[in-house]
Amino acid sequence: MEEEAGGGDFLESARTDLRLITGMLENGRYTEAIARRLYTLAAEVCCLLGWMSSDLDGDIGG
């Protein structure tokens, strides 16, 4: 789906997801295991945001 639509179409949704995750990390009460999962998820969303943002700039490598 992302290949057809481009990463920019999903950028705001990913930003919203990251705000939700970081809000949970900052204000939530959870176990250490859940904290690790939340930080992992936040890192994955950040990585996706980077690729989506890169898509907006066009194909850098080619």
Could you tell me the residue ranges of all domains in the chain?
6-55
pTM above 0.85?
Answer: no
Name every residue whose Cβ is closer than 8 Å to that of residue 22 and which is 6 or more positions away in sequence: 42
Q: Which of 57, 35, 53, 56 is nearest to 45 (CA)?
A: 53
- pLDDT tens sequence across 3-60: 555 556 789 999 999 999 999 999 999 999 999 999 999 999 999 999 888 878 765 4
How many whole angstroms separate alpha carbon 13 and alpha carbon 51?
14
pLDDT at 53: 87
Name every residue whose Cβ is closer than 8 Å to that of residue 2 and which is 6 or more positions away in sequence: 10, 52, 55
